[in-house]
C-alpha cells in the first residue's frame, strides 16, 4: 500500500544526518515511523554498562528532539527486539522495516530472527551500512580472506573507493497518521540515582548529534594539525574525543572521514585517518571472528596461566595500584567515563602483564565504565595488549609504566590532575614516588602507605613473572608467544 509507513529501527546510529536507512525510507515517499528498542535480553552479557546507559539516555533524548524538530515522533519500546518490531509493524501497518546493519554477533542474530519473523507477516527487512566506513565484507585480501594485520588492511582501505560524501540532515520527516504508543525514556532507569555518580560525565560530555559535530569542529580547528605529534600526550587536549559519538552513531564515520580530508593533507590528518581505520579494523575482526570478546584469537593463549587476584584487580579498578600513571588513567575513567588512549594501553598492560590478570577482567571493567564501550574496539584492543589478538603487541613487550609516564607526561600534569595526592611532588619523582627521598616526600606532605599506596607489585618482579608464564605457555619460547 502506498501509504503504508516504513518502520525505521534506530540502533547504534542515533542521528539524522548521513543516515542511509533514513534516507532510503524517505526516498520511498511513504511516511516514516522512527522507533528504538531497548533489548537487554538479547544483548545478554553485552547489554550496555553503566556509563553507556547514561550516554544512551542523553543520546536518545537528543534524537527525540531532532525528530520532533523534523515533525516526527520517536517511539520507544523495551523488550526482545523481534517481538517489539513485529508488534510495532502490526500496530502501524508498516510495509517494511529499515535499519542499520549490526556488527555485534548477538545483534546480527537478532537481525536474522527479525528477518524471518517479519517475512512471515509479509513485512520486509532491509539493512543498510550506518556504522562503518566500509561494508565489513568489502575489504578482503587478494585471496579473498579476512585481514589479520592492520597495515595491509589500512592500505587496502586507502586504495578502495572512498565512502560516499555524507548526506544532509532532512528538514522534515513525514510521520504516519497512526503512531503507536511508546514508552517514556525517563522511566527506563538508564541514569544513576542512588548514588548519582555521573557528575563528571555531565561536565565532560555533550551526548547527541549536535555534540558530535561540535566535537569534530573543535578537533579540526584546534588539534588535528599537531595530532601526529601530540596525540600520545594525555595532559593535552590533542585528541578528537569522538569515540563515544561514533559508537552511538551520533555522527557517521564517513562524515568524520570527509571532514578530516577537507582539513588538509598534513601528517596530522593522515595519522587521524589511520586511527579511524583502527576502528574499522576492529569492526573487521569482530565480523570475521565473532568470539573475539570471549576467546583469544591466538589459540595458544588459552593455556596462559592467568592469576586469580581479586584484591589486586580491585586496586587497579579503583586507581589504587601505587603506580601513578596507571592510577591517573583509572581515575580519569571513573570520573569522566573515558581514558586517554596511550594511558589505556599502559593501564591494560599493567593489569595483564605486571599483575598477570586475564585481559577479560579488564575488558569487562572497561565495558561497564567507558562511555565509548564498543564491543569490537574494546575486545580487539584488549587482545592486542595481551598479545593474543590480531596484529598484536608481543606479550614479551611489557610497558614500563614509569618510563611511559616520564615520556608522555614529562612534567606530571596528567598525574597531578587525577591523583591530587601527588600534586606537590616534583616532576622527577611524580611517576615513581617510592623512589623519592624521604625529605622530598615530607616536603610534598606525602606519606606512602597512608596518603598514597606503595606499588602493589614490584615492576621488575611482575615483568619477570609474566615472562615466566609466557615461557610455560609456549614450552620455553618466550620470543613470540604466538604473537607477532
Positions marked catalytic? 275, 278, 306, 341, 359, 382
112 is written with which cell numbers? 536474522
Burial class (CB in 10 A: 0-12, 13-18, 19+), 274: middle
Q: What is the sign of the dihedral through the CA atoms of 112, 379, 412 and 450?
A: positive
Q: How far is CA 144 from the centre of its chain?
A: 28
Distances in whole angstroms, Cα of residue 408 to Cα of each of 180, 340, 414:
54, 11, 9
Nearest CA-CA partner of 351 in 398, 304, 284, 389: 398
H or E segment to which residue 76 belongs: strand 74-78
Nearest CA-CA partner of 157 in 126, 136, 131, 180: 136
DSSP-derived secondary structure letter, 4:
P
The span from the CA of 10 to the CA of 88, in Å, is 13
Distances in whole angstroms, Cα of residue 96 to Cα of each of 28, 304, 460:
11, 49, 61
The span from the CA of 171 to the CA of 137, in Å, is 33
Nearest CA-CA partner of 434 in 402, 410, 396, 469: 402
285 is written with which cell numbers? 575482526
159 is written with which cell numbers? 586504495
The span from the CA of 106 to the CA of 43, in Å, is 6
Judge whether 215 and 242 are in contact, CB under 8 Å.
yes
CA angle 323, 416, 366 (to 5 degrees): 55
Nearest CA-CA partner of 286 in 480, 101, 429: 101
Question: How many residues in the chain?
Answer: 484
DSSP-derived secondary structure letter, 455:
P
446 is written with which cell numbers? 606525602
Burial class (CB in 10 A: 0-12, 13-18, 19+), 325: buried
Please provide residue 126's backbone torsions phi and psi, each rounded to the nearest 5 degrees. Answer: -120, 135
Nearest CA-CA partner of 402 in 479, 328, 333: 328
Can you tell me which residue has the cell 614450552?
Answer: 475
The span from the CA of 36 to the CA of 185, in Å, is 10
Amino acid at each position: 500500500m502506498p501509504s503504508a509507513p516504513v518502520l525505521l529501527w534506530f540502533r547504534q546510529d542515533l542521528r539524522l544526518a548521513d543516515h542511509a536507512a533514513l534516507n532510503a525510507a524517505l526516498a520511498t515517499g511513504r511516511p516514516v515511523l522512527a522507533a528504538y528498542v531497548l533489548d537487554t535480553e538479547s544483548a545478554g552479557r553485552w547489554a550496555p554498562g553503566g556509563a553507556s546507559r547514561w550516554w544512551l539516555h542523553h543520546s536518545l533524548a537528543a534524537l527525540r528532539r531532532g525528530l520532533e524538530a523534523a515533525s516526527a515522533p520517536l517511539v520507544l519500546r523495551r523488550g526482545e527486539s523481534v517481538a517489539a518490531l513485529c508488534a510495532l509493524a502490526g500496530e502501524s501497518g508498516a510495509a517494511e522495516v529499515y535499519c542499520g546493519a549490526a556488527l555485534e554477533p548477538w545483534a546480527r542474530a537478532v537481525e536474522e530472527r527479525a528477518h524471518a519473523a517479519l517475512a512471515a507477516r509479509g513485512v520486509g527487512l532491509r539493512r543498510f551500512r550506518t556504522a562503518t566506513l566500509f561494508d565489513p565484507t568489502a575489504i578482503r585480501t587478494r585471496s579473498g580472506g579476512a585481514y589479520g594485520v592492520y597495515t595491509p588492511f589500512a592500505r587496502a582501505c586507502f586504495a578502495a573507493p572512498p565512502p560516499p560524501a555524507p548526506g544532509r540532515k532532512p528538514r522534515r520527516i513525514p510521520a504516519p497518521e497512526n503512531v503507536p504508543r511508546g514508552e517514556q525514556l525517563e522511566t527506563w532507569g538508564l541514569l544513576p540515582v542512588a548514588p548519582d555518580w555521573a557528575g563528571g560525565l555531565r561536565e565532560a560530555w555533550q551526548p547527541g548529534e549536535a555534540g558530535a559535530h561540535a566535537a569534530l569542529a573543535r578537533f579540526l580547528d584546534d588539534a588535528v594539525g599537531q595530532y601526529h605529534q601530540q596525540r600520545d600526550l594525555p595532559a593535552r587536549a590533542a585528541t578528537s574525543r569522538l569515540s563515544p559519538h561514533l559508537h552511538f552513531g551520533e555522527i557517521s564515520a564517513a562524515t568524520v572521514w570527509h571532514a578530516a580530508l577537507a582539513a588538509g593533507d598534513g601528517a596530522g590528518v593522515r595519522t587521524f585517518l589511520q586511527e579511524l581505520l583502527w576502528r574499522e579494523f576492529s569492526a573487521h575482526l569482530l565480523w570475521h571472528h565473532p568470539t573475539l570478546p570471549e576467546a583469544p584469537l591466538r589459540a595458544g593463549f588459552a593455556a596462559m596461566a592467568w592469576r586469580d587476584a581479586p584484591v589486586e584487580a580491585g586496586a587497579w579498578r579503583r586507581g589504587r595500584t601505587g603506580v601513578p600513571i596507571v592510577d591517573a588513567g583509572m581515575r580519569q575513567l571513573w570520573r569522566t567515563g573515558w581514558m586517554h588512549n596511550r594511558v589505556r594501553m599502559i593501564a591494560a598492560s599493567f593489569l595483564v602483564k605486571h599483575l598477570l590478570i586475564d585481559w577479560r577482567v579488564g575488558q569487562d571493567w572497561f565495558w561497564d565504565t567507558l562511555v565509548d564501550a564498543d564491543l569490537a574496539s574494546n575486545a580487539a584492543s584488549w587482545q592486542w595488549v595481551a598479545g593474543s589478538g590480531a596484529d598484536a603487541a608481543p606479550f614479551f613487550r611489557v610497558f614500563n609504566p614509569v618510563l611511559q609516564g616520564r615520556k608522555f607526561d614529562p612534567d606530571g600534569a596528567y598525574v597531578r590532575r587525577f591523583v591530587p595526592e601527588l600534586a606537590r611532588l616534583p616532576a622527577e619523582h611524580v611517576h615513581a614516588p617510592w623512589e623519592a627521598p624521604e625529605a622530598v616526600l615530607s616536603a610534598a606532605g606525602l606519606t606512602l602507605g597512608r596518603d598514597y599506596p606503595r606499588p602493589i607489585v614490584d615492576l621488575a618482579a611482575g615483568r619477570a613473572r609474566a615472562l615466566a608464564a609466557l615461557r610455560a605457555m609456549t614450552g620455553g619460547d618466550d620470543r613470540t608467544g604466538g604473537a607477532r
